[in-house]
């Protein structure tokens, strides 16, 4: 990915253009027949004209381009506002003996220091595991753990003073890797085991077996807007907290818990975030709690905004995983048995590691039926940042090892990896139950892969790449086509609920508020589209307002890709109640049934008359008809036993596939993604432009995770890649010119809002095709040698896989 642009080493787009090999006629006919039989007809849409189903601009797009969209740090500060900066541990594990704040307190503008003893409520955060201190008190457990806060008149005064605090820490032995934790048997949560069939017997009877290991690194969220909170004291012991958070209700709970007050005394508001990706699901709560504790001590509004280096050092990342596996299979590549150990680097506390690790277990199968499988999941405690949610929430870590196994099986047998993947796919009416006992009822994997194979010209390109590699001693190319099957719902069943409020005003305009949060993904836009259709009015007449715990209580996090599924449905139900009120009123005027009243195109029509929507609203108000309502939705059908990890944790699956072509320089280890073709299943798209944007962004973020984004800790436990200078996310130059995305033409088979499917997380896992294509290129460079490529596939790791550097 970092290949120097001035190296003309046969990686230019002219030289790696479309392969010119004709698809064999028999194979073309086979694929066409599969498509004709299995591909569903294009889904029918509700009667036009509609707002939903069209590519509307993001509701904040104009404001964001103009610099007029307000984020937490843009909110005008009240007179007397102070600024906080964190005091960080410089030791990975140790006893905190003393904190000397004298030098800091003597600095200009400093108003005070906040330590654990200043917390009026519980000194542990109010999360499920109850294992993480608000501020370190007796022990520090990672470099960057927050010991206290310096509060000053300006942000720079606070940051400079925080560096003057001297913490006396007695070092203790630190566990810095999962191997250390496994040897010490130190876990944040007990290990989990899931079994189906008899994996040992299947391995013993298999015609072929392979054993291997794999390490996959973590990932920094690198949201454009860093972590920030602004805590403002209100009258009579009440609080207003502005928080850049994916979960305002949890921030409310944590702040109340730390201050020792009831939740009703805390109101949390979030208009928008500048990105979240899971990093603001729980971690934003820390900022809010710290700001609120400081504000309570000093009786002033306090803002806490982390700089990027501190953000890296304090907050958790995507969980790194280490795998050890044994797989048995037949001559065709079909898996007979799999034993897999997954060691999860959770960091020093549980945070969301339990459900992340559980989802990884759920997604080990990805798109494949595993008849005999045994999975052991170890949730390892290390003295590093407490890892947390990240787009995919364990799903990517579950899938990647199985995709790597598929590639290894194919190379062992001398088969096309796509043929091996096809051989193992879930079936329809057979081989259709997951290892956690959920039946796959909406399977479109086979036709989806067949269509992408045809449209991406996979077979032609594979032959052309083989020919290229035989004649190119330095530049080797690879290709992979990999599927995705991703379960949609929170694995914690209680979070699968949502509420919304819809207000219609007497001028016909409408305001909607819901429990979800906007982080750039277009949730508010989609909600407004759904509400506009329900009321039969223009999109421009609907306005979504800031997420606010004072309006919709106890809302779930905007996560698990379920933001639209939950909140748009709740808003739809609220709007439907208002519409029904109006329909009954108009039916009374015109002497018809309420079912005969139609709302469309800004008009209300009955068999007797047509009236503008605005006129109907004014008449209804004059007749004291309720013009607002709440809506509530809870996801149906889901259930599972959290002790055995069996049941139906997901409402439905989202599917997709990506075909990626890459090239590697075997002398430098540098790589480049040349072409990407994606076919993704979003059901009936509420907003195709937004959905395609999510697919593009998710894929590129996944590509970064697996290629350039490497987190490095030194032997003291310091994260050394804590700035853009050392931590490399993809740039515009890394995006291939050939980047094609198509949407699968079928509605969600479950009764979901507008027939849509979730799109936030599933596309990230399409980028596993990049990793598998890189492994394909490495295999081409070393025929017959097993591929041992760790992720991310940096230039260094590629060279190790090529045998040019010691592993």
pLDDT tens profile 730-782: 999 999 999 999 999 999 999 999 999 999 999 999 999 999 999 999 999 99
Give, to the nearest 10 degrees, the angle between helix 25-38 and helix 445-455. 140
Q: CA 15, 18, 22, 26 torsion: positive or negative?
A: positive
The backbone torsions φ and ψ at residue 487, rounded to the nearest 5 degrees and listed phi first, read -75, 135
Can you tell me the distance from the alpha carbon of 241 to that of 347, in angstroms, rounded to the nearest whole number?
A: 28
E strands in 51-165: 82-88, 94-100, 110-114, 139-140, 146-152
What is the value of pTM for the model shown?
Answer: 0.93
Would the pLDDT of 39 be above 80?
A: no
Q: Is 350 exposed, middle or buried (0-12, 13-18, 19+ CB in 10 A)?
A: buried
Would the pLDDT of 806 be above 90?
A: no
Sheet holding 208-216, edge to edge: 187-196, 373-381, 335-347, 321-329, 208-216
Dump pLDDT digits (tens) for 532-557: 999 999 999 999 999 999 999 999 99
Can you tell me the distance from the alpha carbon of 245 to that of 228, in angstroms, rounded to the nearest whole number?
A: 9
Mean pLDDT of the chain: 94
Q: How far is CA 80 from the centre of its chain?
A: 38
Query: 512: which strand partners?
Result: 502, 544
Q: Comparing C-alpha atoms, which of 64, 364, 369 is closest to residue 224?
A: 64
Query: Distance of CA 592 to CAs 583, 596, 605, Å?
Result: 10, 7, 11
Mean pLDDT across 260-267: 98
Instruction: Say if CB 481 and CB 452 are below 8 A apart.
Output: yes
Query: Please, where are the H alpha helices in 371-457?
Result: 395-413, 417-424, 445-455
**DSSP letter (8 states) at residue 433:** B
Q: Comparing C-alpha atoms, which of 226, 250, 242 is closest to residue 314?
A: 226
Tokens of 580: 């029904």
Count the neighbouring beta carbons within 10 Å of the beta carbon of residue 71.
17
Can you tell me the distance from the alpha carbon of 93 to that of 169, in angstroms, rounded to the nearest whole number?
A: 9
Instruction: Say if CB 74 and CB 225 are below 8 A apart.
Output: no
Would the pLDDT of 340 be above 60?
A: yes
Q: How far is CA 482 from the centre of its chain?
A: 19
Q: Comparing C-alpha atoms, which of 560, 567, 559 is closest to residue 753?
A: 567
Residue-wise DSSP of 214-227: EEE-------SS--
Would the pLDDT of 23 be above 80?
A: no
- What is the model's pLDDT at position 71? 98
Unique residue bearing structure tokens 């809870």: 634
Query: 629: which strand partners?
Result: 502
As annotated, the active-site residues are: 761
Dump pLDDT digits (tens) for 171-209: 999 999 999 999 999 999 999 999 999 999 999 999 999
Q: Which of 214-228, 638-652, 707-721 has the lowest mean pLDDT?
A: 638-652
Mean pLDDT across 8-24: 32
- What is the model's pLDDT at position 49? 55
- What is the model's pLDDT at position 210? 98
Dump pLDDT digits (tens) for 648-685: 999 999 999 999 999 999 999 999 999 999 999 999 99
Can you tell me the distance from the alpha carbon of 239 to that of 232, in angstroms, rounded to the nearest whole number?
A: 6
Query: Distance of CA 484 to CAs 429, 487, 682, Å?
Result: 20, 10, 12
Given the DSSP bridges, would you call strands 610-612 and 603-605 parallel, antiparallel or unpaired? antiparallel
Tokens of 176: 């810095």
Q: Comparing C-alpha atoms, which of 375, 374, 376, 373 is closest to residue 336?
A: 373
Unique residue bearing structure tokens 């709440």: 630
Tokens of 1: 């990915």
- pLDDT greater at residue 641 or residue 572: 572
Unique residue bearing structure tokens 């009123």: 585
E strands in 271-401: 302-305, 321-329, 335-347, 373-381
Q: Comparing C-alpha atoms, which of 650, 603, 655 is closest to residue 763?
A: 655
Can you tell me the distance from the alpha carbon of 258 to that of 255, in angstroms, rounded to the nearest whole number?
A: 5
Give, to the nearest 10 degrees, the angle between helix 248-259 and helix 283-298. 40
- What is the model's pLDDT at position 642? 85
Tokens of 97: 């003996």
How many contiguous H segments (helices) and E segments (strands) does the chain have?
20, 29
Would the pLDDT of 224 be above 80?
A: yes
Reduced to 3 states (helix: H, G, I; strand: E, B; else coil), residue 160 is helix
The backbone torsions φ and ψ at residue 175, rounded to the nearest 5 degrees and listed phi first, read -100, 115
The backbone torsions φ and ψ at residue 69, rounded to the nearest 5 degrees and listed phi first, read -85, 130
Unique residue bearing structure tokens 């469309």: 600
Given the DSSP bridges, would you call strands 475-488 and 652-665 parallel, antiparallel or unpaired? antiparallel
Q: How far is CA 158 from the centre of its chain?
A: 33
Would the pLDDT of 38 be above 50?
A: no
Q: Comparing C-alpha atoms, which of 311, 301, 235, 280 is closest to residue 84?
A: 301
Would the pLDDT of 42 be above 50?
A: no
- The Cβ-side half-sphere exposure at 504, using a 13 Å CA radius, reads 31
Angle of CA points 406, 486, 513, to nearest 5°: 160
Can you tell me the distance from the alpha carbon of 625 to that of 616, in angstroms, rounded to the nearest whole number?
A: 11
Would the pLDDT of 24 be above 60?
A: no
Q: Comparing C-alpha atoms, which of 19, 789, 769 is closest to residue 466?
A: 19
Tokens of 406: 């598929």
Can you tell me the distance from the alpha carbon of 468 to that of 461, in angstroms, rounded to the nearest whole number?
A: 10
Dump pLDDT digits (tens) for 129-148: 999 999 999 999 999 999 99
Q: What is the percent of the chain where pLDDT is above 70?
A: 94
Mean pLDDT across 381-406: 98
Q: Is 330 exposed, middle or buried (0-12, 13-18, 19+ CB in 10 A)?
A: middle
* Confidence band of 463 (pLDDT split at 50, 70, 90): very high
Instruction: Say if CB 700 and CB 761 are below 8 A apart.
Output: no
Residues 6+ apart with CB under 8 A from 489: 496, 560, 562, 635, 638, 649, 650, 651
- What is the model's pLDDT at position 22? 30
Q: Comparing C-alpha atoms, which of 487, 550, 480, 539 is closest to residue 773?
A: 480
Count the neighbouring beta carbons within 10 Å of the beta carbon of residue 37.
10
Dump pLDDT digits (tens) for 559-618: 999 999 999 999 999 999 999 999 999 999 999 999 999 999 999 999 999 999 999 999
Can you tell me the distance from the alpha carbon of 409 to that of 422, in angstroms, rounded to the nearest whole number?
A: 13
Can you tell me the distance from the alpha carbon of 670 to that of 406, in angstroms, rounded to the nearest whole number?
A: 24
Can you tell me the distance from the alpha carbon of 238 to that of 231, in angstroms, rounded to the nearest whole number?
A: 11
**DSSP letter (8 states) at residue 21:** -
* Confidence band of 645 (pLDDT split at 50, 70, 90): confident
Would the pLDDT of 10 be above 60?
A: no
Q: Comparing C-alpha atoms, which of 556, 426, 578, 562 is closest to residue 501?
A: 578
Reduce the secondary structure of 332-348 to three states and give it as a string. CCCEEEEEEEEEEEEEC
């Amino acid at each position: 990915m970092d290949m120097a642009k001035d190296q003309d080493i046969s990686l230019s787009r002219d030289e790696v253009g479309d392969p010119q090999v004709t698809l064999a006629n028999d194979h073309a006919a086979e694929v066409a027949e599969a498509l004709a039989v299995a591909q569903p007809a294009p889904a029918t849409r509700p009667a036009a004209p509609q707002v939903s189903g069209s590519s509307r601009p993001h509701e904040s797009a104009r404001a964001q381009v103009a610099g007029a969209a307000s984020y937490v740090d843009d909110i005008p500060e009240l007179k007397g506002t102070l600024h906080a900066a964190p005091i960080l541990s410089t030791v990975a594990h140790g006893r905190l003996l003393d904190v000397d704040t004298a030098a800091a307190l003597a600095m200009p503008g400093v108003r005070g220091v906040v330590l654990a003893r200043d917390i009026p409520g519980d000194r542990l955060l109010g999360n499920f595991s109850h294992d993480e201190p608000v501020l370190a008190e007796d022990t520090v457990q990672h470099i960057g753990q927050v010991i206290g806060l310096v509060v000053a008149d300006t942000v720079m005064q606070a940051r400079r003073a925080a560096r003057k605090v001297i913490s006396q820490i007695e070092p203790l032995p630190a566990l810095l890797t999962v191997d250390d934790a496994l040897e010490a048997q130190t876990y944040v949560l007990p290990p989990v085991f899931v079994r189906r069939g008899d994996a040992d017997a299947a391995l013993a009877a298999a015609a072929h077996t392979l054993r291997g290991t794999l390490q996959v690194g973590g990932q920094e969220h690198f949201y454009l807007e860093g972590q920030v909170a602004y805590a403002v004291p209100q009258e009579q012991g009440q609080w207003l907290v502005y928080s850049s958070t994916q979960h305002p209700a949890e921030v409310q709970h944590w702040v109340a818990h730390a201050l020792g007050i009831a939740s009703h005394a805390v109101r949390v508001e979030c208009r928008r975030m500048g990105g979240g990706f899971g990093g603001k699901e729980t971690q934003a709560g820390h900022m809010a709690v710290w700001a609120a504790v400081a504000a309570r001590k000093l009786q002033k509004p306090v803002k806490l905004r982390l700089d990027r280096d501190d953000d890296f050092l304090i907050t958790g990342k995507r969980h790194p995983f280490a795998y050890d596996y044994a797989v048995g299979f037949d001559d065709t590549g079909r898996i007979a048995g799999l034993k897999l150990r997954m060691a999860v680097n959770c960091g020093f506390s549980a945070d969301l590691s339990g459900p992340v690790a559980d989802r990884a277990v759920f997604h080990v199968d990805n798109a494949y039926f595993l008849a005999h499988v045994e999975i052991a999941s170890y949730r390892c405690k290390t003295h590093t940042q407490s890892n947390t949610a990240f787009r995919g929430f364990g799903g990517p870590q579950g899938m990647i090892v199985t995709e790597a196994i598929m590639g290894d099986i194919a190379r062992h047998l001398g088969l096309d990896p796509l043929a091996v993947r096809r051989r193992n796919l879930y079936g329809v009416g057979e081989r259709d139950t997951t290892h956690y006992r959920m039946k796959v009822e909406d399977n479109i994997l086979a036709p989806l892969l067949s269509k992408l194979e045809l449209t991406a010209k996979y077979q032609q390109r594979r032959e052309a790449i083989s020919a290229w590699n035989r004649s190119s001693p330095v530049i080797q190319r690879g290709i992979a086509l990999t599927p995705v099957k991703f379960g949609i719902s929170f694995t914690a069943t209680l979070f699968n609920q949502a509420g919304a409020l819809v207000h219609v005003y007497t001028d016909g305009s409408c305001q909607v508020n819901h429990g979800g949060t906007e982080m750039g993904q277009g949730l508010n836009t989609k909600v407004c589209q759904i509400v506009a259709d329900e009321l039969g009015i223009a999109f421009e007449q609907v306005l979504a307002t800031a997420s606010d715990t004072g309006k919709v209580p106890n809302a779930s996090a905007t996560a698990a890709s379920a933001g639209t599924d939950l909140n748009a449905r709740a808003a739809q139900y609220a709007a439907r109640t208002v519409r029904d009120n109006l329909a009954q009123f108009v039916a009374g005027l015109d002497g018809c049934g309420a079912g005969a009243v139609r709302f469309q195109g800004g008009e209300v029509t009955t068999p007797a008359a047509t009236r503008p929507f605005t006129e109907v609203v004014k008449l209804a108000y004059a007749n004291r008809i309720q013009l607002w309502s709440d809506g509530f939705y809870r996801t149906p059908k889901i259930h599972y036993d959290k002790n055995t990890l069996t049941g139906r944790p997901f409402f439905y699956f989202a599917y997709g596939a990506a075909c990626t072509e890459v090239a590697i320089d075997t002398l430098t280890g540098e790589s480049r993604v040349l072409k990407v073709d994606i076919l993704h299943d979003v059901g009936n798209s509420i907003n195709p432009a937004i959905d395609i944007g999510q697919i593009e962004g998710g894929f590129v973020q996944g590509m970064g995770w697996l290629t350039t984004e490497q987190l490095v800790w030194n032997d003291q436990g310091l994260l050394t890649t804590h700035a853009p200078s050392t931590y490399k996310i993809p740039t515009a130059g890394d995006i291939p010119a050939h980047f094609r995305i198509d949407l699968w033409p079928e509605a969600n088979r479950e009764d979901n809002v507008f027939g849509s499917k979730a799109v936030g997380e599933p596309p990230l896992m399409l980028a596993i095709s990049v990793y598998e294509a890189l492994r394909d290129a490495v295999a081409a460079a070393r025929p017959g040698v097993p591929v041992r490529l760790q992720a991310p596939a940096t230039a260094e790791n590629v060279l190790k896989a090529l045998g040019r550097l010691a592993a």
